[in-house]
Amino acid sequence: MGSHGRDTRPQRPQNRVEDSQQLQGIAQSIQYSQRVLEELAEAFNSWEETRKSDTRANPPGYRKKNYYDQQGRR
């Protein structure tokens, strides 16, 4: 039991329709998570490849750092 004597466990579906809807929701969440992981992997691989030729390359998700030459130009 949870706080104040109430049962806080998730409720089990009451019938096959609810069960089916719950499974569809889980499947959609899994598909979304898979797409996110694929995009992260693609961004990381792209950065890793760029980094081979430019050590200043920032990893995905980092704010771009500006580099200046000796005259103060970007």
Domain of 28 in residue numbering reads as: 15-53
pTM for this prediction: 0.51
Query: Does some domain include residue 6?
Result: no
Query: Does some domain include residue 73?
Result: no
CA distances from 56 to 48, 51, 65, 68, 69 (A): 11, 7, 8, 12, 13
pLDDT-based confidence at 30, cuts 50/70/90? very high
Q: Which residue has the higher pLDDT, 36 or 74?
A: 36
At 31-52, the pLDDT tens digits run 999 999 999 999 889 888 888 8
Query: Does some domain include residue 29?
Result: yes
Six-digit token pair at 62?
């980092």
Query: Does some domain include residue 8?
Result: no
Q: Which residue has the higher pLDDT, 71 or 44?
A: 44
Q: How far apart are CA 48 and CA 23, in angstroms?
A: 37
pLDDT-based confidence at 26, cuts 50/70/90? very high
Domain count, the chain: 1
Query: Does some domain include residue 64?
Result: no
